[in-house]
């Protein structure tokens, strides 16, 4: 399951979470984002040791701006509150697995 984030739960669910969190930054109008979503969903079904989340940048622009996210989709990996990876562009499943 991929948890939907917003401005109210982002800090708690991602930055204060223990362990590894993968966040998919997206927008409903973004074509590549529509391709990224199912890849993240599939990985979430397979990897129960990682928390998978998604954040709509149109609904939480302040968070996107604070993180310097100017292109979507962007994948960010946070381990115990520390950002270990952040990159824009469509990523395949094998690339995401390598990050985790």
Active site residue 30: yes
SS3 label, residue 65: helix
Active-site annotation holder among 30, 44, 53, 57: 30
Nearest-5° Cα angle at 66, 61 to 68? 95
14, 21, 33, 57: the catalytic one is 33
Contact 22, 46 (CB under 8 A): no
Task: Look up 33 and say whether it is catalytic.
Answer: yes
CA distance 53 to 31: 19
> Does the bond joining 54 to the residue before it have cis omega, within 30 degrees of 0?
no
* Cα radius of gyration (the chain): 12
- The catalytic residue positions are 30, 33
């Amino acid at each position: 399951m991929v948890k939907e984030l917003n401005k109210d739960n982002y800090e708690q669910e991602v930055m204060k979470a223990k362990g590894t969190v993968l966040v998919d930054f997206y927008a409903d109008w973004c074509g590549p984002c529509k391709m990224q979503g199912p890849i993240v969903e599939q990985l979430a079904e397979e990897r129960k040791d990682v928390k998978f989340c998604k954040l709509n940048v149109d609904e939480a622009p302040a968070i996107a701006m604070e993180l310097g996210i100017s292109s979507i989709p962007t994948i960010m990996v946070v381990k115990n509150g520390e950002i270990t990876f952040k990159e824009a562009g469509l990523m395949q499943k094998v690339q995401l697995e390598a990050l985790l």
